[in-house]
Structure 1
Amino acid sequence: MAETDPKTVQNLASVVQTLLQQMQDKFQTMSDQIIGRNIYLNSRIDDLEKNIADLMTQAGVEELEGESKIPATQKS
C-alpha cells in the first residue's frame, strides 16, 4: 500500500475546511434573508388586518364570531 504524502493530506484538509466554511457562510446568509422576509411579511399581514378592520368599522359591519356580518344600518 502506498503512503500518502502529508502535504497532500494537509492541502486536502485545508480545501475541505475552506469549503465547509463557505457553505456555513452561505447558509447563514440565506437564513438571515428568510428571517428578514418573514418579519417583513408578518408586518404586512398585520397592516392588512388593521386596514380590513378599519374598513369594516367604516362600513358599519360588526365582527361577531360565528355569526354572519350584517351592516349595522340593516339590522332590525
Structure 2
Amino acid sequence: MEGQDPEDSKQNTADMTAFVQNLLVQMQNRFQAMSENIITKIDEMGSRIDELEQSIDELKVELGTESMPTKSSPEEAKSPKSPDT
C-alpha cells in the first residue's frame, strides 16, 4: 500500500463508499418490503379474527334460540322442567 498512488486510494475509497451506500439502500428496500408484508399479514389476521368472532356470535345466537327457547318466558321454563305442574 505504500507505493499506491493517492488517486488510486481516493478511487478505492469512493468505490467502497458507493458499495456501502448501495448495500444500505438494498437493505432498506428489503426491510421496507418485509415490513409491508408483515403489516399486510397482520391486517389479514385481524380480518379473520373479526370474521371468527362474528361466526361465534352467530353460533351463540343460534344455540341460544334453539336450545333455550324458554328464556323469553319464565313460565315456559318452569313447566317442562318442573315436576310440580
Normalising by structure 2, report the TM-score.
Answer: 0.69
Amino acid in structure 1 at the alignment position of 2:35: S
Segments of structure 2 that go 5 or more residues without pairing to the other structure are: 72-76, 78-85
Structure 2 residue 37 is the aligned partner of structure 1 residue 41: no
Higher helix share: 2
Aligned to 2:81: none
Instruction: List structure 1 segments (4+ residues) > 6 angstroms apart after TM superposition.
Output: none
SS state of the match for residue 60, structure 1? helix
Percent of pairs identical after alignment?
Answer: 36
Normalising by structure 1, report the TM-score.
Answer: 0.77
Structure 2 residue 68 is the aligned partner of structure 1 residue 72: yes
Q: CA deviation at 1:73?
A: 4.4
Structure ID, larger Rg: 2
Between the aligned partners of 2:57 and 2:21, the Cα distance in structure 1 is 54
